[in-house]
Amino acid sequence: MSSPDTLTVGLAQIAPVWLDRTRTLAKIVDWVERAAASGCGLVAFGETLLPGYPFWVERTDGARFNSPVQKTLYAHYLDQAVQIERGDLRPLCEAAARYGIAVMVGCVERPMDRGGHSVYCSLVYIDAQGTVASVHRKLMPTYEERLVWSPGDGNGLRVHALGAFTVGGLNCWENWMPLPRAALYAQGEDLHVAVWPGGGHNTGDITRYIAKESRSYVLSVSGLMRASDIPASTPHREQIAGDDMAQVFANGGSCIAGPDGKWIAEPVTNEETLVVATLEHRRVREERQNFDPVGHYSRPDVTQLVVDRQRQSTLKLRD
């Protein structure tokens, strides 16, 4: 942060070492270091980058019931998923604290508070002191994702102060859901992070739309995925990758829009890169002059939103 009213942000568009938690985490830590060296106060990574998006589903007849292939791949996914309470994110938290940088990263979370055998698409915010400040589990997985991920809850619909800004985020297509967006706006969000598994077709329209709707900065952070990113040890690798090891499953599309909806950084595709920009909070204040969706341009006496932020569980213990 070069001044109290500015924030330098980094969008780390990278590929995972697919379904390898340890090696992907090491790669993420390396890119956190690069972002810190570029002067960033915040660095963000794509949806479920750690350890990877379930690309196998559409490539292996994923809806076939009781399939041995699907069972094997799901078990492997569980093995490589993130258990935050076990300390799986400790190296990343330590890097955030070491460099004084906030981190938003998409994880495949295997939480013990839901029994430890289901996974969630989770967006984790780690503050510049290295503390896991929130874990947002995707409210509604999209299409074939529902064969792998469980629906989340409202516990992670939270925002965080970061310098002059208030930052929040959503996973992939839940950025299209008006009410979760409104829940973040109402908490003062003026820097929105939308994370994606990768695809310029996703980010080109919605990034500018959310920016203009909210009069906020919007960072769309995408991953990359190529057949060559699948380790040789991955179960059913040949079936997933096919014959063309150069093929691209996800081509990125990371970009930044300003609070007037105009591009600050247009979508970048087909390369691992760190997109860096310095944001001025003054621009938020200027654009809120004529439209503030939860302030002077709202009617809470007519319409209100109720959000349940309890962490959902099937069990309540009374000892």
Domain holding 163, by residue range, is 6-287
Helix ranges, 100-161 (H) = none
Per-residue pLDDT at 60 exceeds 60: yes
Report the CATH number at residue 191.
3.60.110.10
Per-residue pLDDT at 1 exceeds 50: no
pLDDT digits (tens, 9 = 90+) for 126-157: 999 999 999 999 999 999 999 999 999 999 99
pLDDT digits (tens, 9 = 90+) for 166-214: 999 999 999 999 999 999 999 999 999 999 999 999 999 999 999 999 9
Does residue 173 belong to any structural domain of this protein?
yes
Distance CA 100, CA 40 (A): 9
CA atoms within 13 A on the CB side of 186: 15
pLDDT of residue 55: 97
pLDDT of residue 245: 77
The number of folded domains in the chain is 1
pLDDT of residue 2: 59
When the pLDDT of each residue in the chain is averaged and rounded to a whole number, the result is 96
pLDDT digits (tens, 9 = 90+) for 63-97: 999 999 999 999 999 999 999 999 999 999 999 99
Catalytic residue list: 47, 138, 172
pLDDT of residue 102: 98
Does residue 302 belong to any structural domain of this protein?
no
Does residue 242 belong to any structural domain of this protein?
yes
Residues in contact with 103: Cβ distance below 8 Å, sequence separation at least 6, in sequence order:
32, 42, 43, 44, 45, 92, 95, 96, 124, 125, 126
pLDDT of residue 244: 80
Categorise residue 83: left if φ over 0, alpha if ψ from -120 to 50, beta otherwise: beta
Structure tokens at 100: 């004084």
Does residue 266 belong to any structural domain of this protein?
yes
Residues in contact with 120: Cβ distance below 8 Å, sequence separation at least 6, in sequence order:
108, 109, 110, 111, 114, 137, 138, 149, 150, 152
pLDDT digits (tens, 9 = 90+) for 258-281: 999 999 999 999 999 999 999 999
Backbone angles phi, psi at 35, to 5 degrees: -65, -40
What angle (nearest 5°) sits at the alpha carbon of residue 73, between those of residues 70 and 77? 130
Does residue 295 belong to any structural domain of this protein?
no
pLDDT-based confidence at 246, cuts 50/70/90? confident
Asked whether the whole model's pTM tops 0.75, one would answer yes
Does residue 294 belong to any structural domain of this protein?
no
Distance CA 239, CA 17 (A): 18
Please check whether residue 226 is in contact with residue 247, taking contact to mean a CB–CB distance below 8 angstroms: yes
